[in-house]
Amino acid sequence: MFKDYTMNQVILPLDLEYKLDENDIAYVINNLIEEMPDQAFDGFKRDTGCPSYHPRMMMKIILCSYTQSVFSGRKIEGLLKDSVRMMWLSQGYEPSYRTINRFRVHPEVKELLRQCFVQFRCQLVEEKQIDEEAIFIDGTKIEANANKFTFVWRKSIENYSNNLIKKSNEMYDELLEKEIIPEIERESSEELSVKELEIILKNIDDKVEQYNHAIEMSDEVSERKELRSIRKEPKQYQKKVQDFLTRKQKYQEDMIIFNDRNSYSKTDQDATFMRMKDDYMGNGQLKPAYNVQVATEGQYALAYEVFPNPGDTRTLIPFLTQIENNFFSLPQYIVADAGYGSEQNYDYILNQSKRIPLITYNQYRKEQKKKFKNDPLKVNNWEYNKEEDIFVCPNGKTMYFSHTSTRTDKYGFLRTYKVYENEDCSDCPLRSNCTKAKPGVNRKIYYNETWEEQKAYTREVLSNESTEKIYKKRKIDVEPVFGFLKANLRFIRLSVRSKEKVENELGFAFMAVNLRKYTALNNTYPLTKKQNQQKTDFNYQSSIIEISFLIFS
């Protein structure tokens, strides 16, 4: 005996909601977007043209597709015809892939995603799934949607530019010597500017035009031949100056694109070439990518930001500023790994944000080892007399304070060092192991008092049992978010270009990670009142069947 099955019977379409499980992720997505106020979508309103799809519906279907590891616009369009949850969320609408792609990179979507993260965090706090005690910060690199071999290197452009300056100066001197152009007023004797090259080119054009006019006016063959011969050299310089001008403009545009980076991709100029862990060539090949910073708690992504520089150290301050301005107030503890440990970062968190940094520095683990503590040549283990402000080296020599030195890095941060110098290192038996200074030069110590105080503070804070426990949660809190994003969600490469569009796509991706985790942990997610009423109404389905019999009988 088989269950009744026929393809020739007309069946009334029932509510697709009956096909979904009670704990389906579609309900979580629907409730999250429905809680957003109507004013959040005012930026999408238009008074003219064809009525557009509602932004609520577009947000729901894109979020739902990202939770199912579908990131392509065409595949999202296909899901709208195949997936029950997508059909329920869209209520039968089927926007094209072009509409989907245009929506997810729309500038107004960034604000919607920000509100989604803020609202989602408030819900987590209300349900006591996070305690607001600390945030855990880390970064990962995600490959850009750019050709792998369209790199432009800053050092190469600088070399090309320097060679161009040298050649253009030589060419200008030749033009003056041969009296092809008159001398021009220069802003600098070191290099010719774009404006000056344009003046030179105009003068050469005028010179060539004079020869052209003379050739046209001459009737003698020999004279015309002589004029063409004389015109040959200015025309050659004309081509050379035009080439120099084009290259000069291009190099200036390249330096603007670089900003403070060392490379960019021609395909996606906001992407920087970075060393990735997943090296597809196995030889340390650089790939165009973005540095994505995420703040988590309870293994949920609560805030994110995209940076073009590969290192994490310089991303912490702008990221914390972004969190405070757009997402939520910073908790008491800021937790991160040694990649964020720097004097500037400690100073910002302690003095400006008034928070406690649970951030190690590069040598923190090494300094805890017995071998380091027992090494007499390490300056950290030398005897220091605070009253006399002197260090005593392992050979018993006194190192006196010499002077104060300041250093400014290429990003403008000023560091102050106290310089101590040994009284005499000439006959020291430890000299070869203690210093690499030339013979006759005494050993010097550059002591950054502020940095050493910050390191001592970090060691003291992390030695506390309660704060050490919080710091140990870092790996099990932030790393699973990246693992879920790349391994489970299979989001390993971006599908859009430029920083603004990348921020939108990553917002959908991280919210998809949050929604999947939330749904997995909350199997009995409460449905809305309407859903509960329909689920529990015993006579609803039977009444539909009775109506169908009346119609077709």
Q: Which three-class secondary structure state does DSSP give residue 136?
A: strand
At residue 14, the pLDDT reads 65
Pairing type for strands 398-408 and 300-307 reads: unpaired
The model's pTM: 0.84
Structure tokens at 350: 């302690």
| CA dihedral sign, ordered 121, 126, 129, 133 | positive
Q: How far is CA 19 from the centre of its chain?
A: 40
Q: Please classify residue 8 by burial: count the beta carbons closer than 10 Å to its beta carbon, then call 0-12 exposed, 13-18 middle and 19+ buried.
A: exposed
45, two tokens: 């309103």
pLDDT for position 530: 42
Cβ contacts of residue 97 below 8 Å, gap of 6+?
72, 73, 74, 76, 77
The pLDDT of residue 438: 77
Residue whose entry in the numeric block shows the structure tokens 């970064």: 139
The span from the CA of 391 to the CA of 387, in Å, is 11
Degrees to nearest 5, angle at CA 271 with 270 and 275: 155
Domain ranges, ordered by start, for the chain:
16-104+523-552, 152-265, 373-452
Pairing outcome for strands 356-359 and 333-336: parallel
Residue 272 has phi, psi (to 5 degrees) of: -115, 145
Local mean pLDDT, 10-residue blocks, the chain (553 residues)? 67 72 89 90 85 91 94 93 90 91 92 94 91 92 90 94 93 90 86 91 91 88 89 91 94 93 93 81 79 95 93 93 94 93 93 93 87 84 84 84 87 87 79 76 85 91 90 91 93 93 95 93 53 42 40 41
Q: Long-range CB contacts (< 8 A, 24+ apart) of 382-390?
A: 390/420
Task: Please give the angle made by the CA atoms of 93, 97 and 102, to the nearest 5 degrees.
Answer: 100
Amino acid at 86: M
- Does residue 416 contact residue 450 with C-beta atoms inside 8 Å? yes
Q: How far apart, in whole angstroms, are the C-alpha atoms of residue 364 and residue 378?
A: 14
